[in-house]
A = this chain, B = another copy of it.
Amino acid sequence: MSRQIILNAFDMNCVTHIVAGTWRHPQSQAVRYKDIEYWTDLAKVLERGLFDGLFIADVLGIYDVYAQGPEAALRAGAQVPVNDPMLVVSAMAAVTEHLGFGVTAATSFEHPYSFARRMSTLDHLTKGRVGWNIVTGYLESAARNHGLDTITPHADRYDIADEYTEVLYKLWEGSWEDDAVGTDPTRTEYADPAKVHPIGHEGRHFRVPGIHLCEPSLQRTPVLYQAGASTRGRQFGAENAEVIFIGAPTKDILREAVADIRARAAAAGRDPYDVKIVNSHVIVTGATETAAQARYDEFRSYTDPQGALALWSGWLGTDLSRFELDAPVEVTDNEFLKSSVEMFGQGQWTLRDFIDAHAINVDGAMSVGGPSQVADELQEWVAETDVDGFNLTNVITPGTFVDIADHVIPELQRRGVYKTEYTEGTLRHKLFGRGPRLPESHRAADYRHVTQEVSR
Contact = CB atoms under 8 A, between A and B. Distances in A.
A63 to B, nearest CB: 12
A294 interface: no
Interface string A41-67: 000000000000000000011101000
A138 to B, nearest CB: 16
Contacts of A146: 111, 113-114
Contact of A125 (B69, B88, B114, B188): B88
Interface stretch (A202-210, A254-262, A265-273, A408-416): A202-210
B80 A213 contact: yes
Interface stretch (A153-161, A191-199, A369-377): A191-199
A279 B119 CA distance: 33
A316 to B, nearest CB: 20
A118 interface: yes
A60 B213 contact: yes
A84 B90 CA distance: 12
A74 B214 CA distance: 11
Contacts of A60: 113-114, 117, 213
Interface residues of A, number: 76
A442 interface: no
Given A70-B193, A189-B76, A82 B214 contact: yes
Nearest to A207: B147
A288 interface: no
Interface stretch (A91-99, A225-233, A383-391): A91-99
A121 interface: yes
A110 interface: yes
A104 interface: no
A333 interface: no
A89 interface: yes
B121 A213 contact: no
A81 interface: yes
A193 B77 CA distance: 10
Contacts of A93: 36, 91
Contact of A191 (B61, B64, B74, B210): B74
A273 B124 CA distance: 41
Nearest to A171: B145
Most buried by B among A88, A95, A126, A212: A88
Contacts of A36: 90, 93-94, 125-126
A176 B80 CA distance: 12
Given A94-B36, A190-B23, A62 B214 contact: no
Interface of A: 13, 15-16, 23-24, 34-37, 39-40, 60-62, 64, 69-71, 74-77, 80-84, 86-91, 93-95, 109-111, 113-114, 117-118, 120-122, 124-127, 141, 144-147, 176, 181, 187-193, 196, 206-215, 217
14 contacts: A24-B187, A34-B217, A36-B126, A70-B211, A74-B196, A76-B189, A76-B190, A77-B191, A81-B214, A82-B117, A83-B124, A83-B214, A91-B91, A111-B146
